[in-house]
Structure 1
Amino acid sequence: MTAVLAAAPTRRLAAVVPAFRQIGDLKRVRVAHADGSVAARAFERSWAALVDGADPAAVAARECAAAVAGARLAGLDAATLTACGLSAPDAETVLARAVAELADALHGATVGRLRDALPGLVADRATADAAPSFVSALCRQPRAGATAPGRPRLMVEPAENHAEHSWAVAVYAALLADDVGADFGQAFLLGLAHHLHNARLPDAGFAGEQLLGEHLDPIVDRLTEMELACLPAALAARVDAALAGRVDVDTPLGAAFHAADVLDRVLQTHHHARVAAFTAEQALVDLQLVHDGPFAGYHRAVLRAAGL
């Protein structure tokens, strides 16, 4: 652990993992009225806002607020709440309740950023229409998952895509930024952009990277430059500056990014392990699938009679 990361109490990283696990599940949440996961759509929306000239810190605050609220509300986002007839203040109240459920896991300053962003989240009607071309490519590009030199690859379905992973790293890095003294907007921007090269480069995982050897870095640099050229010049310069944070873990930006990246990769693996080990008892007992209510007694009687 670097001196920078060590400055944030170790217990903070342990405390934030349950929140990150729930946020990461937005990679798997979908709704009937839109294509793609909540995570992929947030990735598209973030890039569209940035291309439109929005400040990265403002985009980060709005998208982190949406992600933390979404951890509890799933597809019930601000737009859906208002479309269902809630007034803007009522929708903001619901979102604030959801954020409050995870607030204890986050740095106090970060929670303040999220709460301040909620009014804008309710009022925002941004779309992904202005998203650069690499966004849709990253939404289609699957992640390789766990690979190792000399070993068969472990295939898990469904595979996440690079947009979902990049979004998760962006959100986690921004949510850790206040803990390590990193710039909030830059941490988010670095997470969003760190796989730009995979818009063109299929992911062969660590095993494939080892086989590319000395060719890997030039390929990544070349393909990243090609995608940066699709962006407005000022935004491309900001993204390029943020990408410099990948090279170490001794700076606040590097510490936040690399912590977010490794946490997301391992939490994704934990997700697949949990799914493989899932039992009906967990749903019935731990999650109270048949929960208390006016018909609970009848429901339980039906299940007993059916042998379930």
Structure 2
Amino acid sequence: MSGPAAGAAAPVALRELLVELNDLKRVRSAGRPGSVAERLFAQGWSALTGGAAPEAVALEITAKTLAACRLCDLDAAFLEAAGLSDEAVGDVLVTGFDAVTGEVDEALRGRLRERLRTRASLEAGPVPGFVAALAQQPRAGVTCPGKPRILLEPPENHAEHCLMVAVYGVVLSPFYRADPTTVFLAAMAHHFHNAAMPDAGFTGEMLLGDHLGPIMARTAGWALGELDARLRAEVERARAVLPDDATAEGRAFHAADAIDRVLQIAQHLRAASLTMGTVLDEMELVHAGPVKGFHDRVLKDMRIP
């Protein structure tokens, strides 16, 4: 993967992966509250409060997210419960991971794949209160000062957004020559203020005027106050890259943030423009199997679609 010295502001080769990953904010399964992204956000913070090194958490959560891109909730816990051997579980996870990561930086890809093979256990700590609050806090939608808001349902929540930006940030880090752990931690914590502060979007922020900065600092401080001194210091150091793009880590974070914000809206537009040609011909909704011929005849005689 060529770096920023090549002149590009972002690695277009990763576009398709980032688009596909975004759907994990909308993938759900019975018996598992919340989306895949929301649950991985909680897992990440639980591992951090449990004392795991931020680098280990960044690799673990990113590897799980990439494997889930195609496997969804066919994760290690399910595969083990379904009776697969440890080796078979690793094989399935790596196969899912390899299906989508061909353009990921080779060195990073190897480290992430190893996490799926070894599945080193990270001790689970208490889930901070801000995790549930961010999962309950919807994002504002499309806002612009002086204009009515554009609401697209269902909205994503802030936990989903933070998780996706964190994973994007890790995957993008080699391009910007950034430290992926710093980018991951900054992204996981970049909406701390919204655990308490309702999201009125850019419009609301502008209407707050000079009150915005103090309110954001105070509400972010409430979330930081839930962390022990060691973890709080690490998070505060990582959050120092958030204000601008003056550092490699700041550039990786802001690239990830902008990409996720726009892809969230793009998926609504993609769904609205979906055609039956795509569904039936390209995606083969009525897929190959022993009764496909019968299915096709039924649909033809019923004049569906």
Report matched runs for 1:114-133 at 5 Å.
114-121=112-119, 124=121, 130-133=126-129
1:93 alignment partner, one of 72, 91, 94: 91
2:206 alignment partner, one of 205, 210, 222: 210
Question: Are residues 1:19 and 2:23 paired?
Answer: no
Question: Are residues 1:184 and 2:180 paired?
Answer: yes
| Structure 1: distance between partners of 2:162 and 2:146 | 27
Look up the equivalent residue of 2:237 and give its one-letter code.
A
Tell whether the 8 Å contact from 1:79 to 1:125 is kept in structure 2 after alignment.
no
Tell whether the 8 Å contact from 1:5 to 1:255 is kept in structure 2 after alignment.
no
1:248 alignment partner, one of 233, 244, 247: 244
1:166 alignment partner, one of 159, 162, 167: 162
Counterpart in 2 of 1:196?
A: 192
| Structure 2: distance between partners of 1:182 and 1:75 | 30
Question: Are residues 1:76 and 2:74 paired?
Answer: yes
Deviation at 1:11, TM superposition (A): 9.1
More relative contact order in 1 or in 2 (CA 8 Å, sep 6+)? 1
Counterpart in 2 of 1:65?
A: 63
1:36 alignment partner, one of 9, 34, 41: 34
Deviation at 1:10, TM superposition (A): 3.3
Counterpart in 1 of 2:303?
A: 307
Q: 1:297 to 1:107 in 2, by over 3 A?
A: same
| Structure 2: distance between partners of 1:264 and 1:23 | 10
Per-residue deviation, residues 250-269 of structure 1 (Å, max 9, x unmatched): 21110110000000000001
Deviation at 1:185, TM superposition (A): 1.1
Deviation at 1:33, TM superposition (A): 2.1
Instruction: Output the TM-score relative to the length of structure 1.
Output: 0.94
Gaps of 5+ in 1: none
| Structure 1: distance between partners of 2:158 and 2:35 | 12
SS at match of 1:194: coil
Deviation at 1:68, TM superposition (A): 0.7
Task: Say which structure is richer in helix.
Answer: 1
Deviation at 1:5, TM superposition (A): 6.7
Deviation at 1:170, TM superposition (A): 0.5
RMSD of aligned residue pairs (Cα, Å): 1.7
| Structure 1: distance between partners of 2:80 and 2:7 | 39
Identity of counterpart residues, as a percentage? 45
Tell whether the 8 Å contact from 1:47 to 1:131 is kept in structure 2 after alignment.
yes
Aligned residues: 303
2:4 alignment partner, one of 3, 6, 9: 6
Per-residue deviation, residues 131-175 of structure 1 (Å, max 9, x unmatched): 101000000000001100111100111100000000000000011
| Structure 2: distance between partners of 1:260 and 1:280 | 32
Tell whether the 8 Å contact from 1:12 to 1:105 is kept in structure 2 after alignment.
no
Per-residue deviation, residues 80-99 of structure 1 (Å, max 9, x unmatched): 11111111110111111111
Counterpart in 2 of 1:138?
A: 134
Q: 1:218 to 1:8 in 2, by over 3 A?
A: farther
Look up the equivalent residue of 2:218 and give its one-letter code.
R
Look up the equivalent residue of 2:42 and give its one-letter code.
E
SS at match of 1:103: coil
| Structure 1: distance between partners of 2:10 and 2:218 | 38
| Structure 2: distance between partners of 1:23 and 1:258 | 18
| Structure 1: distance between partners of 2:7 and 2:56 | 27
SS at match of 2:92: helix
| Structure 1: distance between partners of 2:263 and 2:157 | 15
Per-residue deviation, residues 25-58 of structure 1 (Å, max 9, x unmatched): 1110111121111100000010010001101111
SS at match of 1:116: helix
Q: 1:12 to 1:103 in 2, by over 3 A?
A: farther
| Structure 2: distance between partners of 1:274 and 1:14 | 19
Counterpart in 2 of 1:48?
A: 46
Deviation at 1:12, TM superposition (A): 6.3
| Structure 1: distance between partners of 2:205 and 2:282 | 41
Instruction: Output the TM-score relative to the length of structure 2.
Output: 0.95
SS at match of 2:253: helix
1:296 alignment partner, one of 273, 281, 292: 292
Deviation at 1:196, TM superposition (A): 0.4
| Structure 2: distance between partners of 1:11 and 1:294 | 49
Question: Are residues 1:286 and 2:285 paired?
Answer: no
Runs of 4+ in 1 over 4 A off after TM superposition: none
Tell whether the 8 Å contact from 1:142 to 1:160 is kept in structure 2 after alignment.
yes
